[in-house]
């Protein structure tokens, strides 16, 4: 399509209202179409490369969305991601509007063997969605979700956030498993497995994924499912962003009453032993409808607490009865469990993990809550208002999926334990990270493997995927033999 004619269409007018600076539309923005010099980039192996002026212009002209250079007025806002610890400056930011844009950006990067970061929701804890001197493939403008009550399916574009997925489904009395911070991206969340407050009832996000559109390293746009490119579909359900850029997810939705019995029960940390020893036996008999898991934290007043987060996805009368034994333990200082909108729970962590917070975390998977683990949870507790230990409960439907039915490697885990926190002052980075690690390493002997969605320190994937790893490496070799998509918990191709 002629680009000047495109700029005069109604579609382009509506897009331009949201994105004032489109390439090729007679504006004076310093985007890629007006590149007047070559710029410095970095290769996959870390070597400096030159990005020629003509190539940059060609990329800009091939795109529907803008390609931002460092002197563009939107560059600094576009390069920012959620975790304020990461202040990186990519050579180019390709702000994609559709799968063809993604394909063009991937092709540009592959042909130059250029370091490539993919930004969906921008919620990568270790900052892997942006790289100094690399190309950022930015999906944030591809952020819509549509739910169809007739088919009980939701279609989420690659840059959509979990809040949009929840909202679109709940409008029709439906839901699927989503995560616990609503401004997390659907893409990274799902590709790593997708644990959420409903996973005991409905399984992980990957268990509800029915198909996806993905652009692979060769630039091809593929539709994958159990019937089409089944190996690739298997791999993206837990294998992370190793295999391409997913531009659309199709999820199964389930009937759901959005007013659910939910909230938290809080005790002083001095009662942690009573609470955790009870939980260590009680959790084994919980129904799929009940999601409940412990956390230990310190308030701004310096008072330590242990709490249980609760969501009961079923008959509230039955839920109240199921919770009776827990409520009899110790002397709670607060009990907010009541009938309330599901989105109260889904958004309650949003402020604590708001954009710009400086945050670090380590995590591990736990197959059994033993007395030894309980003892160490209590012994390792660190009284610091910046830090917390939390869990994410698995089991139920998530555990009944076969170990290698998807690439998610932790079907036998009962819970995940995470240790970390958030702060705003850069001067706190060193001490807070050191304390987080110290706390975590005391718990690590009780863990096996990690949840790569919130892996900060770049753990190696080889020991995490168990019997699935060789198959993942083979599929990686088929679809990304040059390991273009390496800014992740990386699976090396064979």
Please give the residue that has the higher pLDDT: either 243 or 463: 243
Q: Tell me the DSSP string of 19-37.
A: SS--TTSS----BGGG--S
Q: How far apart are CA 346 and CA 451, in angstroms?
A: 20
Local structure of 186: helix, strand or coil: helix
Q: Tell me the DSSP string of 117-143.
A: EEESSS--TT-TT--TTSEEEE-TT--
* Residues 83 and 357 sit within 8 Å (Cβ to Cβ): yes
What CATH number does domain 259-454 carry, 3.40.50.2000, 3.40.462.20, 1.20.140.10, 3.30.360.10?
Answer: 3.40.462.20
The pLDDT confidence band at residue 462, using thresholds 50, 70 and 90, is confident
The predicted structure's pLDDT at residue 30: 58
pLDDT in tens, 60-96: 999 999 999 999 999 999 999 999 999 999 999 999 9
pLDDT in tens, 4-63: 333 333 333 333 333 333 333 334 455 777 778 899 999 999 999 999 999 999 999 999
The predicted structure's pLDDT at residue 456: 83
**What does the pLDDT average to over 216-228?**
98
The predicted structure's pLDDT at residue 29: 55
pLDDT in tens, 172-206: 999 999 999 999 999 999 999 999 999 999 999 99
* Residues 160 and 176 sit within 8 Å (Cβ to Cβ): no
Name residues whose C-beta falls within 8 Å of residue 464's C-beta, 6 or more positions apart in sequence: 409, 449, 450, 452, 489
**What does the pLDDT average to over 303-318?**
98
What CATH number does domain 145-255 carry, 3.90.226.10, 3.30.465.10, 2.20.25.570, 1.20.1250.20?
Answer: 3.30.465.10
pLDDT at 458 over 90: no
pLDDT at 156 over 60: yes
**What integer best gives the mean pLDDT of the chain?**
93
The predicted structure's pLDDT at residue 286: 95
- Taking each continuous run of H as one helix and of E as one strand, the counts in the chain are 15, 21
pLDDT at 406 over 50: yes
| 145-255 and 259-454 agree in CATH topology | no
CA atoms within 13 A on the CB side of 275: 25
Is it true that domain 3-138 has CATH number 3.30.70.360?
no
Residue 404 CB neighbour total at 10 angstroms: 15
Each domain of the chain, given as residue ranges in start order, spans: 3-138, 145-255, 259-454
Residues of the chain with pLDDT > 90, as a percent, come to: 90
């Amino acid at each position: 399509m002629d680009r000047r004619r495109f700029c005069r269409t109604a579609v382009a007018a509506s897009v331009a209202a949201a994105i004032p600076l489109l390439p090729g539309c007679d504006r004076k923005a310093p985007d890629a179409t007006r590149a007047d010099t070559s710029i410095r980039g970095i290769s996959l192996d870390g070597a400096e490369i030159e990005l020629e002026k003509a190539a940059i212009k060609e990329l800009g002209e091939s795109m529907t969305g803008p390609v931002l250079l460092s002197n563009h007025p939107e560059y600094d806002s576009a390069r920012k991601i959620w975790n304020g610890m990461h202040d990186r400056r990519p050579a180019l930011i390709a702000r994609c509007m559709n799968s063809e844009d993604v394909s063009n950006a991937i092709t540009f990067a592959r042909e130059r063997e250029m370091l490539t970061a993919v930004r969906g929701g921008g919620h990568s804890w270790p900052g892997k969605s942006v790289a100094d001197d690399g190309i950022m493939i930015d999906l944030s403008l591809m952020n819509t979700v549509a739910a169809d009550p007739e088919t009980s399916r939701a279609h989420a574009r690659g840059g959509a956030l979990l809040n949009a997925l929840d909202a679109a489904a709940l409008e029709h009395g439906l839901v699927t498993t989503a995560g616990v911070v609503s401004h997390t991206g659907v893409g990274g969340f799902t590709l790593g497995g997708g644990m959420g407050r409903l996973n005991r009832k409905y399984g992980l996000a990957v268990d509800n994924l029915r198909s996806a559109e993905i652009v692979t390293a060769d630039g091809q746009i593929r539709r994958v499912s159990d019937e089409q490119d089944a190996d690739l579909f298997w791999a993206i359900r837990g294998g992370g962003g190793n295999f391409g850029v997913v531009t659309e997810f199709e999820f199964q939705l389930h009937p759901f009453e959005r007013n659910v019995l939910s909230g938290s029960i809080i005790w002083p940390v001095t009662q942690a032993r009573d609470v955790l020893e009870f939980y260590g036996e009680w959790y084994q008999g919980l129904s799929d409808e009940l999601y409940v898991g412990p956390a230990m934290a310190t308030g701004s007043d310096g008072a330590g607490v242990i709490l249980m987060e609760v969501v009961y996805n079923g008959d509230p009368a039955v839920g109240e009865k199921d919770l009776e034994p827990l409520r009899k333990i110790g002397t709670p200082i607060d009990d907010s469990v009541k009938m309330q909108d599901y989105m109260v729970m889904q958004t309650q962590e949003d402020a604590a993990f708001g954009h710009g917070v400086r945050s670090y975390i380590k995590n591990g998977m736990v197959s059994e809550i033993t007395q030894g683990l309980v003892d160490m949870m209590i012994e390792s507790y660190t009284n610091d208002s910046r830090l917390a230990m939390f869990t994410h409960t698995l089991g139920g439907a998530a555990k009944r999926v076969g170990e290698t039915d998807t690439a998610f490697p932790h079907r036998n885990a009962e819970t995940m334990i995470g240790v970390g926190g958030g702060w705003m002052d850069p001067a706190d980075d060193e001490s807070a990270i050191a304390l987080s690690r110290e706390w975590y390493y005391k718990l690590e002997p009780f863990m096996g493997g990690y949840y790569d969605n919130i892996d900060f320190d770049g753990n190696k994937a080889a020991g995490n995927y168990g019997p699935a790893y060789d198959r993942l490496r083979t599929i990686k070799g088929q679809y990304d033999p040059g390991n273009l998509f390496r800014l992740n918990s990386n699976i090396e191709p064979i």
